[in-house]
Amino acid sequence: MPDNIKTPPESMHFTLQEITAGVFAAISKAESGAMGNAGIIDLGERVIIFDTFETPTAAEDLRIASEYLTGKPATWVVNSHSHSDHWFGNQVFLQGSIVISSQTAAKLMNEYIGEVEEEKSDPSELVEFLQDQINQLETETDQNIRRVLKSSIARWESYLKSLPNLKLRLPEQLFNKKIVFHGSERCVELIDMGTVHSPGDCILTIPSEDLAFIGDIGFFHQLPFMADCDPQKWVSTLSELKNSNFVVFIPGHGPVGNVKDLETLEEYILILRKLVTDAISSGESVEYVLSNQLPEPFRTWSNGSPRMEVNTKAMFEYLTNTED
């Protein structure tokens, strides 16, 4: 980091990585209230925050880090998509800042309002779910399952702790297609990619520095979450990004990566599609697909994680609905 910039206090929620002068990735820690990754982009006169984690506590550390690193408050707060771990921290940013998302994502974010109000007035279901996981951890001996459980327990503990003061702040500015932000240090493009990982996914690109914050279109070193995706569009978007001029990709989950990580993710989606296509044509079930051994690294990544089941069901639904 440049000498004139103070190092922000260490956060228990994320690790900061300077990608290039004035552009930082905040990579979430495994057992924290962050869940998703975030970004800090200094345009020169103004600052953009890309995603705000799942809890205001984690987002508060991001706000502090951003002000340390750039010397100014954020002007724009971008939410890459509607999933809670990318925008539930919005409230910590100054009221004068503007929260931006795609029009499609904003519509879906709106649907969380009632859900969160219900959880606030009666969190017993969440408390019970958390207690089940804590009980399970006490007797679990498989290291992979323990790792997944610990991360989930930390997530729900943080969420429950933040719930009484959680005030969902919805986007104030919506866009379709693309917005360009011009600054003296760099220009940034915000692009609505359509339904890829989820409806209304947007990515933030910095063409002059060959890098892109791709939100949850990127899951690196772990299985993706596919419940709301369009697998076909995801594969074609990954190809598009692979063939672009970008060389550094900051994913929504996992470490900063490159084209190789996009390829691995694409490979997983294609393997899953093949397994499910074969299962459908021979009249087999979700359980049949789950009994197949995946090649590495996917076998290790799926160990102890509920994602393979979620993704298989989503792929079944997608292929059954698009068959004819």
Looking at the Cβ atoms of 61 and 216, the one nearer to Zn ion is 216
Q: Which of 60, 216, 230, 261 binds Zn ion (CB under 5 A)?
A: 216
Among the residue ranges 150-158, 210-218, 237-245, 280-288, the one whose residues contact Zn ion (CB under 5 A): 210-218
- State whether residue 247 is helix, strand or coil: coil
> Is 83 a binder of Zn ion (CB under 5 A)?
yes
Among the residue ranges 82-90, 131-139, 200-208, 298-306, the one whose residues contact Zn ion (CB under 5 A): 82-90
> Is 46 a binder of Zn ion (CB under 5 A)?
no
Scan for tokens 């219900």, then name that residue. 118
Long-range contacts of 105-109 (CB under 8 A, 24+ apart): 105/79, 105/80, 105/81, 105/171, 105/198, 105/199, 105/200, 105/201, 105/202, 106/82, 106/170, 106/171, 106/174, 106/200, 107/200, 108/82, 108/198, 108/199, 108/200, 109/79, 109/82, 109/168, 109/170, 109/171
**Which structure tokens are listed for 215?**
């939100």
Among the residue ranges 52-60, 181-189, 202-210, 216-224, the one whose residues contact Zn ion (CB under 5 A): 216-224
> Is 51 a binder of Zn ion (CB under 5 A)?
no
Q: What is the DSSP string of 122-178?
A: -THHHHHHHHHHHHHHHH---HHHHHHHHHHHHHHHHHHHHGGG------SEEESSE
Query: To the nearest whole angstrom, how small is the minimum distance from the Cβ of residue 87 to Zn ion?
Result: 10
Looking at the Cβ atoms of 42 and 201, the one nearer to Zn ion is 201
Looking at the Cβ atoms of 83 and 186, the one nearer to Zn ion is 83
Question: Binding-site residue total for Zn ion (CB under 5 A)?
Answer: 2
Looking at the Cβ atoms of 46 and 83, the one nearer to Zn ion is 83
What is d(CA 324, CA 306) in angstroms, rounded to the nearest whole number?
Answer: 30
Looking at the Cβ atoms of 42 and 85, the one nearer to Zn ion is 85
- Pairing state between β 248-253 and 211-219: parallel
Looking at the Cβ atoms of 181 and 234, the one nearer to Zn ion is 234
Residue 235's nearest CA partner among 279, 179, 274 is 274
Scan for tokens 């760099």, then name that residue. 186
Among the residue ranges 140-148, 209-217, 289-297, 311-319, the one whose residues contact Zn ion (CB under 5 A): 209-217
Looking at the Cβ atoms of 8 and 224, the one nearer to Zn ion is 224
Query: To the nearest whole angstrom, how small is the minimum distance from the Cβ of residue 212 to Zn ion?
Result: 16
> Is 201 a binder of Zn ion (CB under 5 A)?
no
Binding site for Zn ion (CB under 5 A): 83, 216
